[in-house]
Amino acid sequence: MTNKVSIVGSGHTKFGRLDALTLEDLIVQASQEAISEAGIEPAQIDAVYLGHFNSGLVSDGFASSLIHQVSPDLRFKPATRCENACASGSAAIFSAINAISSGEADVVLVVGAEKMTSRTTAEVTKALAGAGYQNDPNEAALSFPQLFGLAAAQYEQRYSSPMSAMARIASKNHSNAMLNPLAQMHREMDFEFCNTVSDKNPVIANPLRLSDCSLISDGAAAIILVNSKVAGNFKHHVSIKGRCHVSDMLPMANRDFISFEGPKIAISRAMENANVSLNDISFAEVHDCFTIAELLIYEAMGLAPKGEGARAIEDGTVTRAGSLPVNVSGGLKAKGHPVGATGVSMHAISYRQLTGQAGDMQLNKADYALIFNMGGSAVANYATVLEAGR
């Protein structure tokens, strides 16, 4: 698979509460921008893959059909919806890569989209909880904030309290989002605010504070993928250098949650497939659905030993000025988390970083990107390594 598929265009709506836009509007906007940026005609697209979770968030039960609203020239093109909880976007990307690698397609549009804010917080929480194990009453009763609250509590029992490190992660990601015009939340939150329970930062699911939780968002992102043989014909191109998807058991009772074994395997195999080490990675976009998740991902990446992930944030490694910046976009924490769009957003923003098109977010060094997108409680794990075009 290595170097067979490249990204040549991207599209990205603003994330946030977008009351005036329907799911269809979001899909159309992101897709049209990606097509325009790639400099292709819609008729050149061979297939379309949509990442979309839904779970009752909207009434659109056949969202893949909405792709055809992007252009009349997409009529009769095959369009498929991919769903894998919060990793639905990456599921769509990996399906597109497979289509190109197998020779079934040469040019593919991938779009991820979600419309969440038309539901109440309670309704969204219930919908997302559908990605948990339903055949155990004890697990089925837990929301995702409660699940990751348990992770933070288990971490403290096994190692030490992660709370100050989690506050530093939240503050870092909010600071990064200030440079991202597409981010949902443009608000600095200093360490003291994030580390202190208050009326403005209440406990959501003990011990998680509001500042430890990602946002309920609307939004869409899109990319154009092509066979790498023709990537040089485009103004900008980034190679899919390595990738890996592993799925773990859904029941929490069957695994050690905070070991994050699935993320560790996916990340290490993706880097092995790309023939790179952590020292080669210029930046990473990872799945910080809750700040404890980003802390556990540091350990899964190999930035620190088990139980010592706090090192990576305390010594500045993962900050924007550090040796391996993590979530320079603001991450799910501040950029926003429209579930089906998240994986595609990570790839779109990384593509822009690697091609020098990231605006105020642009890093000085951007050769390799590591992307990690997760569905559920480390159940569906997708890791990708991207390489800047030469």
Q: Is omega for the bond preceding 207 within 30 degrees of 0, making it cis?
A: yes
Q: CA-CA distance, 181 to 274, in Å (whole number)?
A: 31
- For 105, phi and psi rounded to 5 degrees? -150, 155
Q: How far is CA 361 from the centre of its chain?
A: 17
Q: What is the mean pLDDT of residues 47-56?
A: 94
Q: How confident is the model at residue 185 (pLDDT cuts 50, 70, 90)?
A: very high
| 56 pLDDT above the threshold of 90 | no
**SS3 state of residue 218:** strand
Active-site residue, from 174, 287, 337, 347: 337
Q: CA-CA distance, 123 to 126, in Å (whole number)?
A: 5
Q: Give the pLDDT confidence of 152-171 residue by residue, as tens digits.
A: 999 999 999 999 999 999 99
| 346 pLDDT above the threshold of 80 | yes
Q: Residue 11 has which token pair?
A: 């599209």
User: In the CATH scheme, what is the homologous superfamily, with its name and number, of domain 5-119+216-233?
Assistant: Thiolase/Chalcone synthase (3.40.47.10)
Q: CA-CA distance, 238 to 380, in Å (whole number)?
A: 24
Percent of the chain with pLDDT over 70: 99
Report pLDDT for 2: 46
Q: How confident is the model at residue 25 (pLDDT cuts 50, 70, 90)?
A: very high
Residues with Cβ within 8 Å of residue 103, at least 6 apart in sequence:
none
Q: CA-CA distance, 334 to 177, in Å (whole number)?
A: 6
Report pLDDT for 389: 87
| 221 pLDDT above the threshold of 90 | yes
Q: CA-CA distance, 341 to 214, in Å (whole number)?
A: 14
Q: Where are the alpha helices (DSSP H) in the chain?
A: 23-38, 88-101, 121-129, 137-140, 144-158, 163-177, 191-194, 261-274, 291-301, 310-314, 331-334, 342-354
Domain boundaries, the chain: 5-119+216-233
Residues with Cβ within 8 Å of residue 280, at least 6 apart in sequence:
367, 368
Report pLDDT for 1: 47
Report pLDDT for 22: 97
Report pLDDT for 95: 98
Active-site residue, from 82, 86, 244, 289: 86
Q: What is the mean pLDDT of residues 70-83?
A: 97
State yes or no: is 194 an active-site residue: no
Q: What is the mean pLDDT of residues 309-334?
A: 98
Q: CA-CA distance, 168 to 349, in Å (whole number)?
A: 23
Q: What is the DSSP letter of 365?
A: -
Q: Report the 10 Å Cβ neighbour count for 355.
A: 19
- The answer to whether 76 and 46 are in contact (CB under 8 A) is no
Q: What is the DSSP letter of 14?
A: P
- The answer to whether 192 and 214 are in contact (CB under 8 A) is no
Q: Residue 354 has which token pair?
A: 């690697």
- The answer to whether 172 and 319 are in contact (CB under 8 A) is yes
Q: CA-CA distance, 180 to 192, in Å (whole number)?
A: 23
Q: Give the pLDDT confidence of 260-286 residue by residue, as tens digits.
A: 999 999 999 999 999 999 999 999 999
Percent of the chain with pLDDT over 90: 95
What is the maximum alpha-carbon separation in the chain?
58
Report pLDDT for 365: 86
Q: How confident is the model at residue 55 (pLDDT cuts 50, 70, 90)?
A: confident
Q: CA-CA distance, 119 to 59, in Å (whole number)?
A: 11
Mean pLDDT, the chain, as a whole number?
96
Q: CA-CA distance, 343 to 134, in Å (whole number)?
A: 25
| 183 pLDDT above the threshold of 90 | yes
Q: How confident is the model at residue 222 (pLDDT cuts 50, 70, 90)?
A: very high
Report pLDDT for 390: 62
- The answer to whether 304 and 53 are in contact (CB under 8 A) is no
State yes or no: is 86 an active-site residue: yes
